[in-house]
């Protein structure tokens, strides 16, 4: 798919509205391709309200939806996959949460299995992004 910013937002909102917990979604792609934009749209679709950053793990954001817990984990700044060991993925899985992971490849073996993996890349048109989805890893 080649999506404009508004189409990407719509895609994320629709995906969020359809997601059923537990679910693990990976988002990969170069800097500035729209991963965070897409995460925020998915959270809107999930009905997520307040965002709270974990005081211990600045890479983990928790959103309250009133029902299922939603976590957004950005692995970009991990210097080594082993740093992902303590991000709390086990607890999130135990909670049957919805887990959105930017740069899951940087967490190496510590990333939980992905139910879907979205890859974003630049298009020739600077206002569009190419979005490709795979059904897991
Ligand atoms: N079709 C598009 N889809 C998404 N973003 C777009 C699109 N066209 C332009 N943009 C712009 O690209 C930028 C995407 O930024 P965003 O922070 O979402 O990317 P990112 O992949 O999370 O980057 P980073 O890896 O630096 O965290 C925004 O400034 C947005 O306005
Ligand atoms: Mg980002």
34 lines ligand 1 (CB under 6 A): yes
| HEC string for the chain | CEEEHHHHHHHHHHHHHHCCCCEEEEEEECCCCCHHHHHHHHHHHHCCCCEEECCCCCCEEEEECCCCEEEEEECCCCCCHHHHHHCCHHHHHHCCCEEEEECHHHHHHHCCCCCEEEEEEECCCCCEEEEEEECCC
Q: Which atom of ligand 1 is nearest to the CA of 103?
A: 25
Question: Above 70 in pLDDT, residue 55?
Answer: no
Q: Which atom of ligand 1 is nearest to the CA of 37?
A: 18
Q: How many domains does the chain have?
A: 1
10 lines ligand 1 (CB under 6 A): no
Q: How much is the average pLDDT of 46-74? A: 82
More confident residue, 58 or 93: 93
What's the mean per-residue pLDDT of the chain?
91
Q: Which CATH number do you get for residue 7? A: 3.40.50.300
Sorting pLDDT into bands at 50, 70 and 90, what band is 65?
confident
Confidence (pTM):
0.91
Q: For residue 10, give its domain range.
A: 2-134
């Amino acid at each position: 798919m080649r999506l404009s910013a508004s189409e990407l937002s719509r895609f994320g909102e629709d995906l969020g509205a359809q997601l059923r917990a537990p679910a693990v979604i990976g988002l990969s792609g170069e800097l500035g391709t729209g991963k965070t934009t897409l995460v925020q749209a998915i959270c809107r679709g999930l009905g997520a309200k307040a965002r709270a950053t974990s005081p211990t793990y600045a890479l983990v954001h928790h959103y309250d939806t009133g029902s299922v817990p939603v976590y957004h984990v950005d692995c970009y700044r991990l210097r080594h996959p082993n740093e992902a060991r303590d991000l709390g993925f086990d607890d999130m899985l135990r909670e049957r949460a919805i887990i959105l992971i930017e740069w899951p490849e940087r967490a190496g073996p510590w990333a939980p299995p992905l139910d879907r993996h979205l890859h974003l890349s630049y298009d020739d048109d600077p206002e569009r992004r190419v979005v490709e989805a795979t059904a897991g890893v």
